[in-house]
Structure 1
Amino acid sequence: MMSCAPKSTAVLVLGLVVAWSVAQSAHAQSGSPMLHEYIAPQAAEDVKLESTNPSGQLPAAVRTPSGTITPPDTTTTPEPRRIYHEGSDRTPGFKPDRDTRRPEVEHYDDPFSPTLTPFKRMHAYDAVRPDYTLVVRDTQYRPITIGGTPRDGDDRFFGDMVVQLRAGDRVRIPSVGPGARLLELVSSPRTEVTVWRDGADNWFVYGDQSARVRLISHLAIAREAFASEFADVTWGSLPRVPVQPAAHSRAFRRVAKAIDISRTTMSPRDVVLKMVSYFRSFAPSK
C-alpha cells in the first residue's frame, strides 16, 4: 500500500510559496514602506511628560480644576471675535448713575480658557471721588515680569486675544483676576511687546510700533481669588485706607443704621456678608 503523505506535504509547501509570492507582490505594488505614522496628541500624557506645543514656547497641556486644557493653535490665524484697542487714557474713571433699570444684554467676549464668563477683569478701580466717580488711586505703570512657574493652589489659564498696538501708547487688555502672573507670552506675528499694570492691577500691553498682533498667554492666579470664603479677621488687621469724604461717611451711616451693621459689635466678615445680602436684594426699577 502506497503512502500519500509526501504528496500532501509537497502541495502544502507549494501553497505557502504561492501565498508568500502574492504578499510580496502586493507590498511592492503598494509603494515604499511607511516611515512615519501620525499619532494623535494625548493631553494626559503631555501633562505627565511636561511636553511643549509645536512652537516650544507653551506647555502642550495643563491640568486645571475644570479639566485638562490645551493652548490655542499658534500656527493658525483665526478670525478675531474682538480687537482690543482702548488706549490707557480712554477711561479715566467710572461714574455711576441713578438708572436702576436692567441694562441691555451685550455681547461678552471671553478670551480665556477655561472660560471666565462673566469674571474677566477689564476695568478695576480702587478709590472713590467725592462725586462717587470710581478711579484708580495710583496711576503709575509698573512692568509685569514674564516667566516663573505655577505654585501650589494656583489655577492656570490660556489667553488668546488680538490687540491693535498703538506706537508709544499702552493698550488695555483683560486679565483673569487680581494678582495674576504672566508665565509665558507668544505674539504672532512675532513682535516686541511689554506688559504693564497700574495700581488697581489693570493690565496694558505696549509696543514701539503700531501693528495688529495676536497674543497667546499662559497665566496663573491663586485659586482662592475666585472661590474662597471671606476671611474672619479683626478690624485692626485690615490695611488702613485714606479718610473718605464727609458725604460718603454720612451716606454710609444711614445705610448702616437701616440694615443694622456695626463695627463695634460685628466682625468685618459679618459686616461684608450683610452688606452683600442687602445689595443683592435690590430689584430693577420699572
Structure 2
Amino acid sequence: MRFHRHIKITRRAATRGAALLCLVLLGAGGVAGASKPGWAQQSGAGDASASSTRRDSRRVLHEYFDPWSVNLSGQTSVGGSGASADAASSAFIGMPGQPPGLSLEPATDEMILGNQGPVDAGKTATPWGPLDPGSGAPSRLDSATDRVDQLNYWANFEPSVVPYKRVVVQNQVRSADGQYSLHLAPGRYRSVAIEGGAERGNEDVFWGSFLLRARAGERHPIPSVAPQQRILSVQAAPMVGLRVERDEADNFYIVPASDGLLRVNMKLAVPRVYFDGELSATTTWREFSQAAQARDARLSPHIKDVAANVLKLNGASHQMAPRDALFALIEYYRDFEARPFPESLAKDDLYTAISAAQIGVCRHRSLAFVISARALGIPARYIYNEAHAFVEIYWPKLGWRRVDLGGAAEQLDYSGRRGGGVHQAAPDALPQPPNYISELERMGADIPGYQSDESGDTSDAQVAANGLDAPDAEEQFAEDSVGATDQGEALSGEVEPGTTAAEDDALAAASELMQDRGELPTDEAPAMNAEEHAQDISDQTEHAGASAPPEPEADPRQAVRIDVVASNPEIFRGTALQLNGSIFSLQGRAISRALLKVYLGPLGADSTDGLVLLGEIESDAGGRFSGQFPIAEDISIGRWSVILRYDGSDKYLPAQVD
C-alpha cells in the first residue's frame, strides 16, 4: 500500500514568502485529502497575480478555475488558462509503461464519467444498455441479430485491452413473459485496498486513466481490466480525497470527497490467468457446487427447464467432464453468425430460437451462453462496454477467466491509444470454429497492434507476434506439443512402440514444419528411432520445467488501511506539517503501537530510496496517531509527496500509500 501527500513548496519572500501545500492522501481503502476545489496548471515564475481570495499578499502560484466550465466537446473554456486546442488530445501522451498525464483537458473523443455513467461520450454511440452498472437497467435478449456496421471504442488502459475493458458486469439472470435479461444482483459495496509495491511474477501491469465529473460522496463507475485486479497506486488531479469500491459483481467505483472535474490515474496488476489461464481437465462438478462463486450459477426453475432443452442442441451435459462440457458450449456459441432474425421464429422462446439458429452478435451469444453455462452449474457473468460484450466464467482453483465469443462490429473506431500497443495474451487455446476465426481476422484489421491470429497455429506471423524468430519455431512448436499431454488434451493416431502419441505428434509436426520451410527435404527426412526420440522429448520437457517460475505462496497476514488528514492544506518551509490519522486492518481491527515512517520525496516515487525521512509516528491503543513534522528551510521549491510507510508485522502486511 502506498500513501503520497502531494505538496507544493515555495520559498519565503524577503518579507512573507509563499509556501502552498496541496495534499492528497491515498489509502488502502481509498484516498483522503484536503485541497481547494480545483487547481489549474502552475503559472510561470514571473506570472504573479493578486487574489482577493487569499488571506494576505502572498504570491499566487496556482490559478483558480471553475471545474464545471470545461466544454465537453474536448476544448476548454477556462478563461486565462492559456490552454491550447492541442492539449485536448494530449491527456494520454506518454511513454509506454509510464503513468498517463494528469491533464483535466478532455482528450479528443474521451468519455467523461459521472455518477451514472458517461455524462459525455464524445462520438461514442449508446450501446445496448447504459454504461452504469448501478443504474439497475437490465441487458435484454433481443431479436436484432443482424451484423452491426460500426462502433466506437475508447481505450482507458495502457496497454489497451481493446475490445475487452469491463464497463458493466451483470451477474443475475431473470425471465418474465418470455423475455430474458441480465441484471446486477443486489449486494454490498466493499472498499478496495491501494496496495503499493510492484507486480508479481504472474501479473501484467496496466495504467488506467479516467476523467470524472465528480459528485462528492457518490459512486462513479469506472472501467476495469479484471475482477481480481490489484491497485498498486492512484494519482489524482486536482488533489482531492477519494476511495475505491467494488460491488458483488466486481464492478469498480471511485467515490470522491468533493465536486468538480477530476482526473484519476491507477496503476493495476492483473493475474495473467484471467486472460489465458489453463482450465484443468481434472476439475469435477462437485468443486463448482462447493465454491462461493456458485451464487453466479443460479437460475430460476423455469429458466433451468428451458436451458435443459437448449443444452441438447450443443451436446453439453453433466455426463461429460466439466472442461469438455465448457468447450462444447464455447465452440457452439462461437460458431454463431450475425444475420437477420428469421420471421418463422418470431413466436418461439427467444433464448431457444437464438441458440437453435445460432444467430446474433456479441450480446446475443454472451447472454445465451451465460444461461447455458449456469444451467450446467458453471458460474458465468455478462460483461459489456460501448463496443463489445463478452463473458467471464469461474473455474475452481483458477478464478475468473475471460471468454470472448466473437460477434463484434464490422468496423471498430478505436480511440485513446497512447502508443503502447495492445495487450497480448497467450494464444487462445479454446475451441475456434471457422466463423470465429474470420471475425478475429476482421477485428485485427481495425486495431493497430492487435494479434488477430489466436488459433494456436504456428504460422510465421504467429511466431513473430509471440516474439520468436522463425528459425526457433521448430523447438517452440515441439515444446508446445509436449505440453498438450500435461493439459489432458486428447490425442489420437497410431503410436510407435516405445513412444507416446504426444511425442509422435510433436516429432511429426516439427518435421513437417521444417519440410515446409525447405530446411528438411521431404524425401530425405532423417528418421529418429524411438530411444533417441524419447530422450529428445525428455530433454525438452526438462528444459520447459526448469524455466517455469514457481507459484508464489499466499501471505497469511492481514491487509492494512491507513487514513490520514492534514490540519492545514497550506504550509511554509521552516514550519511543521501536522498529520492526524489511524491505521486499521481491512477487517476493522485497530492496530496499536504501529510505527509509521514519514518521508518527503518527488511525485511518483516508487520506493523510499533516496527520500528524506521527516520522522516517525506510533499509533495508540485505538490505532490513532498524531504528530508534527518540520519542513526544512533548504527543501527545494516545487511539488512534493509525503509518503507514509508501515513496515508490517507478523500479523499485518506492510503498507505504503501512493
Q: Taking structure 2 as the reference length, what is the TM-score of the superposition?
A: 0.32
Find the aligned partners of 1:229 and 1:99 in 2 and give their Cα distance.
34
Give yes or no for the alignment of 1:280 onto 2:334.
Answer: yes
| CA deviation after TM superposition for structure 1 residue 199, in Å | 0.2
Partner of residue 151, structure 2: 106
Find the aligned partners of 1:271 and 1:86 in 2 and give their Cα distance.
40
Partner of residue 85, structure 1: 114
Which of residues 141, 148, 161 is equivalent to 2:196?
148
Q: 1:90 to 1:127 in 2, by over 3 A?
A: closer
Matches within 5 A, 1:21-60: none
Matches within 5 A, 1:251-266: 251-264=306-319, 266=320
Find the aligned partners of 1:196 and 1:72 in 2 and give their Cα distance.
22
Q: 1:181 to 1:259 in 2, by over 3 A?
A: same
Partner of residue 222, structure 2: 173
| CA deviation after TM superposition for structure 1 residue 248, in Å | 1.3
Partner of residue 325, structure 2: 271
Question: 3-state SS of the aligned residue for 1:162?
Answer: strand
Partner of residue 299, structure 2: 244
Which of residues 239, 242, 253 is equivalent to 1:193?
242
Q: 1:208 to 1:78 in 2, by over 3 A?
A: closer
| CA deviation after TM superposition for structure 1 residue 136, in Å | 2.1
Larger Rg, first or second structure (1 or 2): 1
Find the aligned partners of 1:163 and 1:176 in 2 and give their Cα distance.
18
Instruction: Give a deviation string over 1:261-286, Cα, whole Å, max 9, x none.
Output: 2202x111111111111111111123
Partner of residue 357, structure 2: none
Percent identity of paired positions between Structure 1 and Structure 2: 28
Give yes or no for the alignment of 1:130 onto 2:159.
Answer: no
Partner of residue 230, structure 1: 279
Q: 1:205 to 1:82 in 2, by over 3 A?
A: same
Give yes or no for the alignment of 1:207 onto 2:236.
Answer: no
Instruction: Give a deviation string over 1:35-79, Cα, whole Å, max 9, x none.
Output: xxxxxxxxxxxxxxxxxxxxxxxxxxxxxxxx96222134x5543
Contact preservation (8 Å) 2:194, 2:231: yes
Find the aligned partners of 2:298 and 2:276 in 1 and give their Cα distance.
30
Partner of residue 72, structure 1: 100
Instruction: Give a deviation string over 1:63-104, Cα, whole Å, max 9, x none.
Output: xxxx96222134x55433121114264244322212211235
Partner of residue 533, structure 2: none
Find the aligned partners of 1:105 and 1:277 in 2 and give their Cα distance.
25
Contact preservation (8 Å) 2:234, 2:267: yes
Contact preservation (8 Å) 2:115, 2:215: no
Find the aligned partners of 1:142 and 1:199 in 2 and give their Cα distance.
8
Give yes or no for the alignment of 1:118 onto 2:163.
Answer: yes
Find the aligned partners of 2:206 and 2:317 in 1 and give their Cα distance.
40
Question: 3-state SS of the aligned residue for 1:255?
Answer: helix
Partner of residue 417, structure 2: none
| CA deviation after TM superposition for structure 1 residue 106, in Å | 2.0
Contact preservation (8 Å) 1:126, 1:136: yes
Question: 3-state SS of the aligned residue for 2:135?
Answer: coil
Find the aligned partners of 1:171 and 1:96 in 2 and give their Cα distance.
27
| Greater CA drift, 242-251 or 167-176 | 242-251
| CA deviation after TM superposition for structure 1 residue 216, in Å | 0.9
Q: 1:98 to 1:247 in 2, by over 3 A?
A: farther
Find the aligned partners of 1:77 and 1:199 in 2 and give their Cα distance.
31
Instruction: Give a deviation string over 1:106-153, Cα, whole Å, max 9, x none.
Output: 210111101110111111112212333212224311111112332220
Q: For 2:284, give the aligned amino acid.
A: T
Give yes or no for the alignment of 1:96 onto 2:141.
Answer: yes
Q: For 1:83, give the aligned amino acid.
A: I
Q: For 1:256, give the aligned amino acid.
A: L
Considering only aligned residues, what root-mean-square deviation do their CA atoms show, in Å? 2.0
Contact preservation (8 Å) 1:188, 1:215: yes
| Greater CA drift, 101-110 or 199-208 | 101-110
In structure 1, runs of 5+ residues without a counterpart are: 1-66
Find the aligned partners of 2:261 and 2:220 in 1 and give their Cα distance.
11
Give yes or no for the alignment of 1:221 onto 2:270.
Answer: yes
Find the aligned partners of 1:69 and 1:168 in 2 and give their Cα distance.
31
Q: For 1:262, give the aligned amino acid.
A: S
Contact preservation (8 Å) 1:138, 1:200: no
Q: 1:243 to 1:147 in 2, by over 3 A?
A: closer
Q: 1:114 to 1:86 in 2, by over 3 A?
A: same
In structure 2, runs of 5+ residues without a counterpart are: 1-94, 117-131, 341-658
Find the aligned partners of 1:92 and 1:144 in 2 and give their Cα distance.
25
